[in-house]
Amino acid sequence: MKKIKNVITECAKKGLCSGCGICAGVAEKCDLKIEFNKYGEFFPTVSKCDNCGLCLFVCPSLHVQVRKESNILSLLGKDIECFAGYSKVDNERAKGSSGGLTTRVLKMLLEKKIITGAIAIGKCNNEDRMFDPIIAKTNQEIDSCAGSKYYPVEFSSVLKRLKQEDGEYAIVGLPCVINGLRLVQQKYPVVGIKIKYLFGLVCGHNKNKNYTSFLIKTTGVNEKDAETVFFRCKTNTKKAMNYGFKVILKNGKEGRQLNFQDSLVKNAWCGRYFSLNACFHCRDLFAEQADVSFMDAWLKSYMDKPLGTSIIVVRNEELKKMIQEENNKGNVEIDTIIKNDVIMSQKGALDFKQSEISKKCELLFNQRLSNLYYHDKAYLKSLRFFFLKSYISLHWFIMKIKAILN
């Protein structure tokens, strides 16, 4: 009997799965699904497999591994031009994570009727998840997707829906998603032909669902009472990195806002707690396969601008011309930025991406430790929350002492 090889045996069981759901989105003959595991990570399951190999071909985690071993992964990809700036239309900059340029460019394409719609991350009403990819066909729907979602999302349902839709679409995703969708364009044309543009979000690492649960509990809110969350609030901020995490309750009230600069919150992020295991193997920071990559301008010259500034790497000549037209119209404010500044703006995440696993051992330990937060019984979850919160605070204090001594 021929040995069955699929994303379960070759990717998920080896700890490489990013949970993007692209494999389940293109599976037709196989009963392949993507669901949350107990650690709050999306994980593929299969009850029937015909060994066709399609899921393996479109798996971005396996694709990145091949490119890593052949040493052809560049830093920015084939960049045409790099810009730094922000949207000047309505409150797009205020609502966006950084300068609101992702929202502006998507709306520009929709207004010009170049795309039928945009696929981005919006609010989800399912009980087991807060966010999901949606097909936005109006400016209002695109607005509803503004802002970062440090939360696992999977694209299986939206890809299946896209198969039934007419028109061409722009899709916003993390590097793993972008890599997978490029493979879909090659191997699954019934969907691939409808993908007009791919917009990449620069990503140092992604978080599991328990990261959001941990932050909600840290605000003092019962997770069952939470309607949704905002990860990048700019209320009363004086610097670009001084954003906050906010919970909206089901009764419409707001929970206590957490500031990212708080030692507990910052170390929970920077210490790679609740990170996906696949992120320790991924080397693609800048979404090099995307037509345009968007990121925060973490450079000294932009840090004092509390509303945020975007950096974009444009690899598509048509998009470059349209973005420059938006600048000429006064809809955006952009300046050309050199490639080295783009790289320096993401230095911390880049150092992590380029390190070998042996150098990531401490962070990998933090990631494993944070998985202890999961438990079905409420009282055990509360005890583990207290332990993890104390450990993160202690670890942050030790790191500060080491920095002073050095």
Give residue limits of the domains in the chain.
Answer: 7-69, 81-206+276-353
Reported CATH class of domain 81-206+276-353: alpha beta
Q: Which residues of 20-35 are buried (b: 16+ CB within 10 A; e: fewer)?
A: bbbbbbbbeebebbbe
CA dihedral 150, 154, 155, 157 (to 10 degrees): -130
Instruction: Average the pLDDT over 267-274 and give the result.
Output: 94
Report whether pLDDT(67) > 90.
no
Place of tokens 């104390």: 390
Rounded to whole angstroms, the Cα distance separating 87 from 100 reads: 5
Q: Which of 212, 355, 235, 231 is closest to 296 using CA atoms? A: 231
pTM for this prediction = 0.93
CA dihedral 129, 133, 136, 141 (to 10 degrees): 40
Question: What pLDDT, in 10s, does the model give residues 240-256?
Answer: 999 999 999 999 999 99
Question: What pLDDT, in 10s, does the model give residues 70-96?
Answer: 443 467 877 789 999 999 999 999 999
Are the C-beta atoms of 11 and 61 separated by less than 8 Å? yes
Question: What is the pLDDT confidence band of residue 365, given thresholds at 50, 70 and 90?
Answer: very high
Rounded to whole angstroms, the Cα distance separating 142 from 136 reads: 6
Are the C-beta atoms of 201 and 174 separated by less than 8 Å? yes
In this structure, of 33-37, 132-136, 353-357, the range with the lowest mean pLDDT score is 353-357
Question: What pLDDT, in 10s, does the model give residues 201-239?
Answer: 999 999 999 999 999 999 999 999 999 999 999 988 888
Question: Of all residues in the chain, what percent carry a pLDDT higher than 90?
Answer: 76
What are 170's strand-pairing partners? 118, 197
Rounded to whole angstroms, the Cα distance separating 272 from 259 reads: 18
Place of tokens 């109006």: 138
Length reported for the chain = 406
Q: How far is CA 237 from CA 51, 92, 101, 261, 303, in A?
A: 53, 17, 20, 11, 11
Helix or strand (DSSP H, E) at 404: helix 378-405
